[in-house]
Structure 1
């Protein structure tokens, strides 16, 4: 077994998308190879309805998959193919845009006005860029959750883990998408396929992820000016951790426990031509998508 080192830790940055939705972006619109096959990850969390209620009105996608995971509140969606529905707390929507789709996503708060969800963009390989669009809407009740003897809980959204298989299937990158909660002070190791790119995103509590300088993942401390300080900062709320190669990830939860997403997928290793919500392989394909949008042929016949 080989430990995956922590090669980068960074905070998600505040930004605005759609019609004025305030969110935090962990990565996106930078180097598409660093977390290939994943392109973008947004944390849309807010308790001020004016900062999210205007939502994400009608917009196009081509050449990617969007994965929306809702924790609090709801997201209403509709698309150019006539699909519509509402994602409730704990549910997931996996949309394969393929050859092209127009859709809108409108978030709403819970009874306390709180909204919390994530959106991940996954790239499609060249031979699936123009595939027929499809949706997979998965309710929270259909997502398996397994609890270990030490209290660690894992929701398996896609992929296989601890004897459970997530309900989302047929995804190009064959990803593993896990929502993991580790209790206070507990150290835990999770297996990941060696050939996948992997990252974690902490959104509750804090913890220490093992790396080359701290392979045990233990929260080492030292005395500085009479105060006990962590040698390395704990990875806390809205922190992205990018891992190197290996087949396992180790984390030790802080005093309040830790909850994070652990996501991995097989890299596509193809050129990327990217403009906003459209991701193709070449500039010519990108220009063709723009022409299709202008002349009304963006939505392709089913095939």
Structure 2
């Protein structure tokens, strides 16, 4: 007998070594009584979500939403937090909706990762994010001022009073620059942004985690294979463009634009590879040209789930 919706039963909680000396992979089966995930140490990173049903359900029984929708919902709600509720009564992925004829439950694969924090005062220059193991993934980023103490030494009070100052799009900007890199260095003096609050002394505050993952680099006009053997591919990040001056640079001089980003590539690569044991990646016309005249490459960050 599998799960009953009136009782929360954790069927399995297995810790599997990831091989990176960082974290363990937790695998939990949850029903609607207590849909919560928690890390006693570190923060959550969701790797996979699947719907399951008990033995009385049929193939025709409706699911609240697809596995992909459930994964996107959980990632948005839980990643980077110490604890979260998996679904809410108003969610499109509501497991406890009485209109559902079957008794679904979620199989959630997640890890607890150490959260790192970097604060850089305005004018300090270089911002440095680094992972000894794994890849950088930015969870929070604020440029402006949200308190009166941070970066306050030697500053007049008038430059510290506005604590409601935040540059729009900072998280997206830093995620695009740094996600999927082992080390990310950005010169704030060179890559400056507009001033969200003139007269206030500002700072950059970034929180990130180091995700155990692999990186595939494919120079333009080439292809690469992602192979997970008996496991399946989970794609975390993809970009077609250029984010440094060394990758795919041999014999090339068109390297000046190192902030060349094409965010829509992630969804394309997911369609090619997500859930498969192997796939081929490379430049595709649908990527467009995010920086004309710059020699580009495709970078994909992924990990293999299952098949350990």
* TM-score normalised over the length of structure 2: 0.28
Which structure has greater helix proportion? 2
Higher relative contact order (CA closer than 8 Å, sequence separation 6+): 1
Which structure has greater strand proportion? 1
Which has the higher Rg, Structure 1 or Structure 2?
2
